[in-house]
Amino acid sequence: MHEESTAGPSARMHETTGENEAVLDLVLEYSRNRLTARDLPLDKSVSSADLRRLAPPAVTEDGIGAARAMAVFEHVLAPACITTDHPRYLSFIPSAPSKAAAAFDIVVSASALYGGSWLEGAGAVHAENEVLRWLAGEFGLPAGSGGVFVQGGTLGNLSALVAAREDAREAARGRGTAPGRWAVVCSAEAHSSIASAARVMDVDVVAVAPGEDGVLRGDAVRAALAEHGDRVFAVVATAGSTNFGIVDDLAGIAEVTTERGTWLHVDGAYGLAGRLSARRRDLFTGLEHADSVIVDPHKWLFAPFDACALVYRDPDRGRRAHTQHAEYLDTLTETKDWSPSDFAAHLTRRPRGLPTWFSLATYGVRAYREAIDAAIDLAAEVGRVIAGRPELSLVREPQLSVVVFERVGWSKADYDAWSARLLDEQLAFVTPSSHQGRPNARFAIVNPRTTIEDLTAILDTMA
């Protein structure tokens, strides 16, 4: 039994009181039920007008109380959010946090951990670094590589490219030259976050056409570098394109970047998890030459939103670009301690790598490899089913766990109507995509609970 607050009304929110223990019970019970539920609906979004009608204003002078707020969340707000870890959520890149990872996210919040500096969060940073070192080892990067977990692939790509440009600027200063405009070379099929980073940085994007198979190769990159010369501060290779899960020819591209001394960044936000599978390991040969890489644990490494692992081959190059200097921060920046804030465009951060650390510790790396193998095998299997149905055709052979296919004779409107019907009937969430102007359907598979029966049931609706 805890004492009721004696510190006056201002401490009501922070003291351990009967009221706050009840709040805690409510929240933990909901979380436990959500994480142990066996058959969650997919749910779907609801219009803003309906939500205004269904959810009473909660942010008022007196509040509405935890019990009512929790009820609004459970019965109105949560059902208006698609269940992203549902086995038949197959759009975009899904998320499928392991039970241990999702549960440990609660611990991270409960512990009020600060993950920006070693001074404040040494223990948490140590554990995050253990994960980053493990990833670096899997990727073939040298001992001494390191980085930080950031919010997502977009911020990871931006932070890596800022470091690359800083490096190129220093080199250009050394040569006494400076290009009018900097440029980054990438595949025309690179993720939109590369163009977004370029806009933020006010640099040009040189988008190079990949081969018919979607793979960007060394000779195409060599030609782009010959044309654009020293103004290219980085080449981005994609290790698992978003639309198709295709891996660029990392070895061929690395040969060119090594020759020319150009920074190689590998965007493996989705696909680099595939490197953990013995089945596809060879696809990533050349990765070991990268200057920076990203992979998002919230995609295919079974972590909750939001987490992107950014690893630099030489972390000092990240630090030179990103460390913030201010009088009140001197106590942090004057030491040699490893402070995660120093490696990306951020300062305050939660140690969002901890759920991955806990999950890896709980289940072991082998369980991850097996779950990734399973998604690759399932993609190959459904690819064969599609190839065997006369009304369907594969757009490209799946390399990792994305399967793109067409329904012969369907227009964009047909795909849209079909996708809406699947969600209305709560069968699946499969948004249409397109390639070279032709509409198609796309399964992105990361959830170990997705089965071939789930996928064939969806294909049956296209007959």
Ligand X SMILES: Cc1ncc(COP(=O)(O)O)c(C=O)c1O
Which residue among 86, 88, 191, 319 contacts ligand X (CB under 6 A)?
191
If the CB atoms of residues 42 and 269 are measured against ligand X, the closer one turns out to be: 269
Q: How many residues at the interface with ligand X, by CB under 6 A?
A: 14
If the CB atoms of residues 69 and 163 are measured against ligand X, the closer one turns out to be: 163
132 neighbors 309 (Cβ within 8 angstroms): yes
Which residue among 98, 145, 193, 440 contacts ligand X (CB under 6 A)?
193
Which residue among 235, 272, 308, 446 contacts ligand X (CB under 6 A)?
308
Question: Rule CB under 6 A: is residue 280 a binding residue for ligand X?
Answer: no
Question: Rule CB under 6 A: is residue 115 a binding residue for ligand X?
Answer: no
325 neighbors 266 (Cβ within 8 angstroms): no
253 neighbors 286 (Cβ within 8 angstroms): yes
Q: With left for phi above 0 and alpha for psi between -120 and 50, is residue 261 left, alpha or beta?
A: left
Question: Rule CB under 6 A: is residue 249 a binding residue for ligand X?
Answer: no
**DSSP string across 284-301:** GTTGGG-SEEEE-HHHHS
Question: Rule CB under 6 A: is residue 339 a binding residue for ligand X?
Answer: no
Pair of tokens at residue 69: 């707020």
Which residue among 83, 145, 154, 450 contacts ligand X (CB under 6 A)?
154
Measured CA to CA, the distance from residue 406 to residue 427 in angstroms comes to 19
Question: Rule CB under 6 A: is residue 269 a binding residue for ligand X?
Answer: yes
Question: Rule CB under 6 A: is residue 139 a binding residue for ligand X?
Answer: no
- Smallest gap, in angstroms, from Cβ of residue 267 to ligand X? 5
Q: At what angle do helices 99-110 and 354-363 cross, to 10 degrees?
A: 140
If the CB atoms of residues 332 and 430 are measured against ligand X, the closer one turns out to be: 430
Per CB under 6 A, the segment of 22-30, 262-270, 329-337, 360-368 that binds ligand X is: 262-270
Name residue 292's beta-bridge partners. 265, 312
Per CB under 6 A, the segment of 27-35, 150-158, 204-212, 368-376 that binds ligand X is: 150-158
Question: Rule CB under 6 A: is residue 238 a binding residue for ligand X?
Answer: yes
If the CB atoms of residues 127 and 308 are measured against ligand X, the closer one turns out to be: 308
Please give the C-alpha separations between residue 299 and each of 139, 203, 336, in angstroms, as whole numbers: 17, 28, 33
Per CB under 6 A, the segment of 81-89, 227-235, 266-274, 332-340 that binds ligand X is: 266-274
**Helical H segments across 11-152, by residue range:** 18-36, 48-54, 66-72, 99-110, 118-139
If the CB atoms of residues 205 and 385 are measured against ligand X, the closer one turns out to be: 205
Question: Rule CB under 6 A: is residue 275 a binding residue for ligand X?
Answer: no
Pair of tokens at residue 10: 């201002």
- Could you tell me how many residues make up the chain? 463
**Helical H segments across 111-177, by residue range:** 118-139, 153-175
Which residue among 84, 117, 159, 242 contacts ligand X (CB under 6 A)?
242
Which residue among 116, 121, 146, 153 contacts ligand X (CB under 6 A)?
153
Measured CA to CA, the distance from residue 444 to residue 349 in angstroms comes to 29
Question: Rule CB under 6 A: is residue 442 a binding residue for ligand X?
Answer: no
Measured CA to CA, the distance from residue 406 to residue 137 in angstroms comes to 39
Which is it for strands 433-435 and 438-444: parallel, antiparallel or unpaired?
Answer: antiparallel
If the CB atoms of residues 224 and 269 are measured against ligand X, the closer one turns out to be: 269
Per CB under 6 A, contacts with ligand X among 79-108 are 93
Quick one: CA torsion of 213, 455, 92, 391, rounded to 10 degrees?
50
Question: Rule CB under 6 A: is residue 454 a binding residue for ligand X?
Answer: no
Question: Rule CB under 6 A: is residue 353 a binding residue for ligand X?
Answer: no
Which residue among 138, 267, 291, 454 contacts ligand X (CB under 6 A)?
267
Per CB under 6 A, the segment of 23-31, 151-159, 378-386, 417-425 that binds ligand X is: 151-159
Smallest Cα–Cα separation from 183: which of 196, 202, 159? 202
Question: Rule CB under 6 A: is residue 244 a binding residue for ligand X?
Answer: no
Which residues of the shown chain bind ligand X in the complex (CB under 6 A)?
Answer: 93, 152-154, 157, 191, 193, 238, 242, 267, 269-270, 296, 308
